[in-house]
Structure 1
Amino acid sequence: MSRATDRDLRLLREAVELSRSCPPSRTAFSVGALVVAADGTVLADGYSRRDDPHDHAEEAALRALAADDPRLATATLYSSLEPCSTRASRPRSCTALILGTPIPRVVFAWREPDLFVDCEGAELLRAAGREVVEVPGLAPLVREVNAHLLGPR
């Protein structure tokens, strides 16, 4: 299993901070995402519901990039939440959108709980040969951002 680097932790924290910009929703998670080039340059960012009430963070970030952008072949996608594998509001899941690019590596903090759907994003990405790094140590920050969906503890 791949381990997170110090740079991964810093950029994943940035994605979590970006999730705090999400318009509130009682029916969707607040998520932040970054697409980062191999040299550390942030190529695009996104957060849930940024441009449209149905936007997911990864979707918003990927929309800003051409699918044939050569930098994607060595890029990493950082998402505060595991990329979704099922969508009710759009035809393609975030996992499918990622698999439609050459992005070889995905780093996320929190596995999507089965609150809305049963998510298999990490497994599908790995099965397709993508490197997936889970950083559960940062999951409490993502749960904090989404506390309104989780109810009393």
Structure 2
Amino acid sequence: MIDQRMVDRRWLQAAIDMSRLCPATVTAYAVGAIVVDRDGTELARGYSRETGPFLHAEQQALAKLDGIPPDLSGATMYSSLEPCTTRGSFHRTCTELIVEARIRRVVVAMREPPVFADCVGIELLGKAGIEVTVLPEFAGQVKAINAAVIATAPGARAPSTG
């Protein structure tokens, strides 16, 4: 029998590792995302700003599936950070893209900190019938990767990495 938690931990760590590839900036989060089918086969991956300065990780991964219409009804999206629900640089949010793709599950390390917007991706995904799992044991890594961004929030302090 498959230990889903162990599988989730492995793929989420891979998404977090991908987020380290993001071009550095204090105006956007570094996020990695991977889409895995129901059989555990990777379909696509992406990271923030991979091919353009305003492109998000989930958007990058899903764009790689264009022209290849896989059945995503059993797929899982692993994203190092909660998918966005507010966007100034694109007409659809990552949460909307995930819902439109009909992905069944989303696994994240943590909620989006309220630096740029009050994100409600977890709630909106749940209302759309998508199962969301948060693995908070990975949050420290995501906070450390995004320490410079998180520190820009009014009254915020960069998280300790020690």
- The TM-score bracket by the shorter chain reads over 0.9
So what's the TM-score if we normalise by structure 2? 0.89
Structure 2 CA distance for partners of 1:129 and 1:57, relative to 1, 3 Å = same
SS of equivalent to 2:72: helix
Please list every run of 5 or more consecutive structure 2 residues that lacks an aligned counterpart in the other structure: 152-157
SS of equivalent to 1:44: strand
Q: What code does the residue aligned with 2:61 have?
A: A
SS of equivalent to 1:97: helix
* d(CA) in 1 for partners of 2:145, 2:82: 15
Structure 2 CA distance for partners of 1:54 and 1:12, relative to 1, 3 Å = same
Q: Is the 8 A contact 1:67 1:101 kept in 2?
A: no
Q: Is the 8 A contact 2:113 2:150 kept in 1?
A: no
Alignment of 1:108-147 (within 5 A): 108-147=108-147
Please list every run of 5 or more consecutive structure 1 residues that lacks an aligned counterpart in the other structure: none
Q: Is the 8 A contact 1:35 1:75 kept in 2?
A: yes
Q: Which has the higher contact order (CA 8 A, sep 6+)?
A: 1
- How much does 1:70 deviate? 3.4
Alignment of 1:1-150 (within 5 A): 5-66=5-66, 69-150=69-150
* d(CA) in 1 for partners of 2:33, 2:67: 17
- How much does 1:67 deviate? 7.5
SS of equivalent to 1:5: helix
* d(CA) in 1 for partners of 2:68, 2:101: 8
* d(CA) in 2 for partners of 1:67, 1:108: 26
So what's the TM-score if we normalise by structure 1? 0.94
The number of equivalent residue pairs is: 151
* d(CA) in 2 for partners of 1:66, 1:133: 26
SS of equivalent to 2:62: helix
